[in-house]
Structure 1
Amino acid sequence: MLERSLGGWSRGWLAGLSLVLWCGASVGAAEAPAPAPAPAVTVTIDTDRAEALYRCGETARFTIAVEVPEAARAAAKAKAVLTLDGGKVLETRNLDLTKGPSTIEGTLAEPGFLQLAVSVDAAGTRGNGLAGAGFEPERIRKGSAKPADFDAFWAEGKQRLAALPLDLRQTRLDAQCTEKAEVFAISFANIDDTRIYGFLCVPRGKTGPFPAWVSVPGAGPGPLGPSGKNYAEEGVLALTMGVHAYDVGTLTRDEVQAIYKELNAPMTYSHHGAPDREKYYFRRTYLGIDRAITWLASREDFDRKHMVIDGSSQGGGSALILSGLNANITALAANVPALCDHAGLLLERSSGWPRLVKGATPEERQPYLEMAAYFDAAHFAESITIPAIVSAGFIDRTCSPSSVYAAYNELKGPKRIFNGPREGHTTKVGEYPAFLGRWVRGQLGLTEPLPPTR
């Protein structure tokens, strides 16, 4: 899920405050000379404020400039759609490209995000642009209330799993080890006669106790390897856990990909078991990873002071969920977190990945809404008091900025959010990537901690 792509918007690049997307013609057949590429269509959208932030009731001004081949200009068609963060359509307008740049204005009376999407068709050559503007996002609230039995549901699951033997299986991966780190494939018994799998990297040639770093990958088949080896070489226990019930540690990449393809054949795994909360895919995932974290915290070589969880997209949502589940975690970093604000659509805005709530009618939606509430990172955030950093991309169509803020605003501890007015679903949101490593190392006790901190 976490990739440098936004579907039809994947080739967009912002220049200054602008989103610019280039689209050309396809390459010709290999046996014939390639035709000259068609002139590109360029769509540029500027907001009138660099930070793209406004008070409710203020007006956000979007300026749209479109460049098309001169021969196609008269026949070119351009359409602008203004929405409530990819949800409710607020305005649709056809643009006259013969009159130069166009301007569209919008405002919100309540906290939220405007999203402007522009599509252009110039004689078959297409271009797209996307821009966003936030209105007091620090006041955005989640779309549903935390269920009364939320804590009891998860406590019961943890108790059921605790009754099963741990059955730790650990295999040293000699080819992955270095002079400074030992690497192991690990797994634990999990509910429903399954196992949870991952990797553990342990400092080599050093005496503990050590701080610990935990990560869950973005959506997909992985992890396909130990992502925390660099931390282990600095003197940190590094645990990387997958969300699936197959052995990422000892299977080959081709074997993992084949199993993953089969897993998703009926539907994407993120919807397996819905709308039954007992059978939903992520229930066994988070119970299993919670067990792995508790085991990590029980190791004699853990310092019992520093445990940071760090992830992006699915991994970012996992950081929030697991921080709500496991008291051993002392700090969290969540880049463009998924699994947030599943009920955001009730407020006519876009929910975060995986958009669990289905159905065209309220009756069809209800069972999904009820189940989704138990797996909403925004509800877990209510009980989180540890330091946290989070990022949100204003043109993120996978994990919408309103869904991210709905969770972020529930956090109770020291926190900081990094906005990306130019960014979509990416690991490079604003200043977040430059800050992340320094902040995590401070929270691990390797360097002087930076705020937000205890």
Structure 2
Amino acid sequence: MKPKKIFSTFLILFISAQLIAQPRRELVKVIVTPNHTDWNYQIGEQAEFSISVMRNNVLMKGIEASYVIQPELVEVWDEGKLVLKDGTGKVKAKKFNQPGFLRCTVSVEVDGKEYSTYATAGFEPDKIKPTTTLPADFEEFWNKGKEELSKIQINPVLTLMPERCTATVDVYHVQIDNIKGKIFGILSKPKKEGKYPSILHVPGAGIRPYYGDVWEAEAGFVSFTIGIHGIPVNLDKSVYDNLQQGALSNYWTTNLDDKDNAYFRRVYLGCVRAVDFIESLDSYNGKIGVTGGSQGGALSIVTAGLDDRIDYLAAFYPALSDLTGFLHGRAGGWPKIFRDDYTNKPEKVETSKYFDVVNFARFVKVQGWYSWGYNDNVCPPTSMHSAYNVIDAKKELHVFPETQHWTFPEQHELKNEWFFEKLRE
């Protein structure tokens, strides 16, 4: 298939996904915009936010708007109301005197329904430093884990999925052995004999089935998409929904006070095991990239930090970054576990350091492509910059300020162009 056709196919699939991921359009639009076009400011500057409210794309004159200004997810600095005489208005924040982000949220009520949105100004985010610290035995802990993993045979079981295969691609459900259980995934690879670069897809948070990336295999890649929960990834969706509401609810806090048994230990080592599997394939040419978004963005950085076989990484809005931020008066990363007294225990805080993306980012040595938005309300930009800023490797960050916890198609197009070119070099 020609590259243009491949990208067109992907774009159709991606736009379909975005219908779920992106916020739906509403009758009344509230628009908030910082007065710097790139949404960036110097420390000590004052950000000014422009507000407009429209219905049917026409400004709503005389409407009253409520606003709140605060650093993201922490204490309110200022709040008030203003009447938008011609449908527009402005509010000015006080000076922001440290690296970070300042958010202005605006809401209006129309016919008994509330409409709201926000914009987030960045203040020298490249100077944000993490609050978490690196345990003295961090490398020893993970080297021990990888040594334990190496003693377990991969024992791959590949089951052809004829209903998902195409004229040029074979698709398999895969089972491999991990520490304390299995890793399951979907392998898509070209039918044509040869050696191909590989892409490892690591998943976002949640429990769900997976379908693999046939279009990547059609483009000449060995594509492997994994689940992290040790259960097959081709079951009926109801199985995953029941687990989400039951046994795997809030899995990220499981054994948070015990680093040897914390949930993500098996997950992180499972990503290394996925690389072991890819390396064992006859069709693999020795070059591999890892990619994902949110929890998958975190796992991309973790995998690159743990496994020197990774050649490139591409991460969207990485979760699990600088988890201790809330203990220092600023936003911490998803899943925001240190916002309440139940989790704010010394042993849990200490354990979190062994799984915080910041501490894996310190060991990333491969070239990376990263992208997120300042308006992300799931993975706060403060937390993501905390991880990005400690990476000592060639890197590029593509900020799309207005995006929340979703992406524009253009972001994925940019990522794939970069990723594919690097892996084909």
**Which of residues 215, 220, 234 is equivalent to 2:201?**
215
2:349 is equivalent to residue 375 of structure 1: no
- Are the equivalent residues in 2 in contact too, given 1:186–1:200 (CA < 8 A)? yes
Structure 2 counterpart of 1:185 = 173
Residue 73 (structure 1) shift: 9.1
Q: Distance in 1 between matches of 2:247 and 2:18?
A: 21
Q: Secondary structure at the match of 2:344?
A: helix
Q: Secondary structure at the match of 2:93?
A: strand
- Are the equivalent residues in 2 in contact too, given 1:5–1:425 (CA < 8 A)? no
Q: Distance in 1 between matches of 2:350 and 2:61?
A: 50
Residue 4 (structure 1) shift: 7.1
Q: Distance in 2 between matches of 1:307 and 1:332?
A: 9
Residue 11 (structure 1) shift: 4.6
Aligned ranges for residues 48-59 of structure 1 at < 5 Å? 48-59=35-46
**Structure 2: segments with no counterpart, 5+ residues:** 1-16
- Are the equivalent residues in 1 in contact too, given 2:160–2:172 (CA < 8 A)? yes
C-alpha change, 1:138 and 1:364, in structure 2 (3 Å) is: closer
**Which of residues 421, 429, 436 is equivalent to 2:415?**
436
Q: Distance in 1 between matches of 2:347 and 2:336?
A: 14
Q: Secondary structure at the match of 1:422?
A: coil
2:254 is equivalent to residue 272 of structure 1: yes
**Which of residues 190, 209, 215 is equivalent to 1:230?**
215
Residue 327 (structure 1) shift: 0.9
Q: Distance in 2 between matches of 1:391 and 1:102?
A: 29
Structure 1 counterpart of 2:401 = 421
Letter in 2 for 1:269: Y
- Are the equivalent residues in 1 in contact too, given 2:209–2:236 (CA < 8 A)? no
Residue 131 (structure 1) shift: 0.3
2:326 is equivalent to residue 345 of structure 1: yes
Q: Secondary structure at the match of 1:133?
A: strand
- Are the equivalent residues in 2 in contact too, given 1:358–1:368 (CA < 8 A)? no
Residue 333 (structure 1) shift: 0.3
Residue 397 (structure 1) shift: 0.5
Deviations 1:279-305 (CA, angstroms, capped at 9, x unpaired): 22221111122112123124343222x
2:114 is equivalent to residue 126 of structure 1: yes
Q: Distance in 2 between matches of 1:260 and 1:364?
A: 24
2:101 is equivalent to residue 113 of structure 1: yes
Paired residues in the alignment total 406
Residue 252 (structure 1) shift: 3.0
Q: Distance in 1 between matches of 2:419 and 2:102?
A: 32
- Are the equivalent residues in 1 in contact too, given 2:305–2:365 (CA < 8 A)? no
Deviations 1:116-164 (CA, angstroms, capped at 9, x unpaired): 1122335622111210111111111111111111111111222222223
- Are the equivalent residues in 2 in contact too, given 1:337–1:404 (CA < 8 A)? yes
Q: Compare 389-398 and 92-101 and name the one that shifted more.
A: 92-101
Root-mean-square deviation (Å) = 2.7
TM-score, structure 1 as length reference = 0.82
Aligned ranges for residues 274-423 of structure 1 at < 5 Å? 274-304=256-286, 306-360=287-341, 364-423=344-403
C-alpha change, 1:11 and 1:236, in structure 2 (3 Å) is: closer
Q: Distance in 2 between matches of 1:44 and 1:252?
A: 41
Aligned ranges for residues 123-272 of structure 1 at < 5 Å? 124-192=112-180, 194-208=181-195, 210-227=196-213, 229-249=214-234, 251-264=235-248, 267-272=249-254
- Are the equivalent residues in 1 in contact too, given 2:156–2:277 (CA < 8 A)? no
Q: Secondary structure at the match of 1:303?
A: strand
Q: Secondary structure at the match of 1:418?
A: strand
- Are the equivalent residues in 1 in contact too, given 2:204–2:294 (CA < 8 A)? yes
Q: Distance in 2 between matches of 1:5 and 1:47?
A: 27
- Are the equivalent residues in 1 in contact too, given 2:209–2:237 (CA < 8 A)? no
- Are the equivalent residues in 2 in contact too, given 1:393–1:400 (CA < 8 A)? no
